[in-house]
A and B are shown apart, each in its own frame.
Chain A
Amino acid sequence: MTGRANSIIPSSIIIVGGGASGVVMAAHLLKSPNPDLRVTLIERRPHFGQGVAYSTLLSAHVLNVSAAGMSAYADDSGNFWRWLQGRGLVSPEQTPQTPFYAPRSIYARYLGELLDELEAQEQPTGRLRLIHEESRSITPTPSGVEVALANGTSVVARLAILATGHDEQPAQGHAIRMGSEADTELVPDRRVMVLGTGLSMVDAFLALEQRGHKGEIVAVSRRGLLPSPHRKGNPIKLDVADIPLGTQLSYFVGWFRDLIKENQKAGVDWRDVVDGLRPFNQKIWQNWPASAKRRFVEHTKAWWDIHRHRMPPEIYARVTEAVKVGRIRLVAGRVVDIARGGDFTVQVQSRHTQRLETFDVARIYDCSGIVRDISTSSNSVVRSLVDRGLARPDPLRIGLDVSANCEIIAGDGTVSAKILAVGPLTRGTFFEIDAIPDIRVQCARLSKRLLG
């Protein structure tokens, strides 16, 4: 093994995780003309380009971002649109400006084909290598990194980029994940409970509909808020010089509310104000003191999310209709007790009245969100880095602590030059880094920094 370390190619990079962020990262690296570049992409799932988000086969599960925003390339926003057109998946009269929310399975196909093309293109150069295997751990060596695989072998390179995406954790307690093995067939008219009222709950509702489920869906979250619908608009133009940075959260929220009010007076939709802020979201987050970040996550994020992370209008219409006719019941409160008989008897305490209400449900689905304490990650690569002190959770424990250049920060505060991370893992530093429009920019920047 030590003999091999001497022969590490200077521009060799291993990407751990071949889901959406891994594929987007590889695509950006391979734009470099460097003939000595070696990119190794490792994925444990059978298909590349499908992480948690894009592995759904349900046609009702569409993207929450319009097609124009979903190109894999930061500098070629029309890439996905042209692919859709080339496959005849959009009608000729549709323009990139027409809002179009493609099924997520289609998006997975796009990323898969994009990788196929890259593979074919790099076949003669040998610059891209795909490995179907689970990564177990990353270990820094004197000249680079070694990634140990589940089959007992290992790969070495100059550096490694973690792109493990969202954590697929086993659900908590009696609740199960939709689509998991425990999600067996259900008697159609039975009442079920969903923990969460956000976009994942909406996915669960759509999946239940498609399966022919007819019973009541009781959706519980702290505030019981439903995400807002998209509407076509033009984001307002802002400069960084306009935005208060580094203040307390209350000051910022006051400024932002005033900005929305002023714009609404001028006839501008609030969405255009929320979206106008998007290019600066990372900067705002990075300049906040730790106390503002913590307060935001605890108190403000729920409101921010329903305005910022919206759903296509058609889906919104279906969901609100379901609420109206009583198919979905939204409950603001918290689960205080779950008793298991044949069914589950769940006690929920109302947020507003503090009263306890009891629900008998056949199943409890965990749709309570994707942000969890990173140190309990089910991903063995991430956990082993934290356990060995090579990485540490960010102060809010929602991801790994990374520098503004995506470098992993060790337990003792040392910034790693060899292990980097992109995508949702870096949300402690980059805040909104769950969606393609943000991830592709992060990958483009990192690629430029690494390869010029």
Chain B
Amino acid sequence: MLTKKGKYGLKALVHLAQLPAGQLAFVGDIATGNTIPKKFLDAILGELRNAGFVQSRKGKDGGYRLARPADEIKVGHVVRVLDGPLAPIPCASRTQYQRCEDCNEATCQVRHLMLEVRQAIAEVLDQRSLAEMRDIAIDETPLTAKAQA
């Protein structure tokens, strides 16, 4: 499940991916532009920095920018760092397995299928780069405009 943290992190990275390469963005601008609580965003960007997806500069002209080209960072890379192992339900994970109170994992068909689902999730998210995600929006704008015309 993509948490709010994961969603906000991706939105912030798309924001950065839209800037000219190397240009820094203020945290406040990213927060207001994407309606993300600023304190939460600070924490998220800190984690993304530790994982090597963004770089920051302190001071008056400080801010964040992508540490690598947007086509090199895959969406799946980011989600794992922010939300942990990709898993549709908490019991469908090998490293951060959380037992369900109400069922037996050995015989649970739901868990079994969800283990398969997570492979599919990984396949999609590891193929898509931030650049591709950013460009989805750009591609769809003219489409909507056309539909309205």
Contact = CB atoms under 8 A, between A and B. Distances in A.
B118 A239 contact: yes
Interface in A233-264: 236-248, 250-251, 259, 262
B4 interface: no
A244 B85 CA distance: 8
A289 interface: yes
Contacts of B94: 236-239, 242
Contacts of B2: none
Contacts of A237: 94
A287 B53 CA distance: 13
B122 A241 contact: yes
B118 to A, nearest CB: 4
A292 interface: yes
A248 B122 CA distance: 19
Contacts, number: 66
A248 B95 contact: no
Given A245-B80, A246-B74, A292 B118 contact: no
Interface in B77-120: 77, 80-81, 85-87, 93-96, 115, 118-119
B80 A244 contact: yes
Contacts of B68: 289
A244 B52 CA distance: 12
Contact of B77 (A239, A247, A250): A247
A245 B72 contact: no
A237 B73 CA distance: 26
A251 B93 contact: no
A239 B122 contact: yes
A259 B95 contact: yes
Nearest to A283: B126
A248 B118 contact: no
Contacts of B53: 247
A239 B126 contact: no
A265 B68 CA distance: 36
Interface string B110-149: 0000010011011000100000000000000000000000
A236, A241, A247, A259: residue with the most chain B Cβ atoms closer than 10 Å: A241
A241 B87 contact: yes
Interface string A111-141: 0000000000000000000000000000000
A248 to B, nearest CB: 3
A262 B85 CA distance: 15
Contacts of B95: 238, 242, 259, 262
Interface string B34-74: 00000000000000001111000000000000001000111
Interface of B: 50-53, 68, 72-74, 76-77, 80-81, 85-87, 93-96, 115, 118-119, 121-122, 126
11 contacts: A236-B94, A238-B95, A239-B94, A241-B118, A242-B86, A242-B95, A243-B80, A244-B80, A246-B77, A247-B52, A289-B68
Would you list the 7 A-B pairs with minimal beta carbon distance, nearest first?
A248-B52, A246-B77, A241-B86, A241-B118, A247-B51, A241-B122, A242-B85
Given A239-B115, A241-B87, 20 more contacts: A239-B118, A239-B119, A241-B80, A241-B93, A241-B121, A242-B93, A244-B51, A244-B77, A244-B80, A245-B77, A246-B72, A246-B74, A246-B76, A247-B52, A247-B53, A248-B50, A250-B52, A289-B52, A289-B72, A291-B52
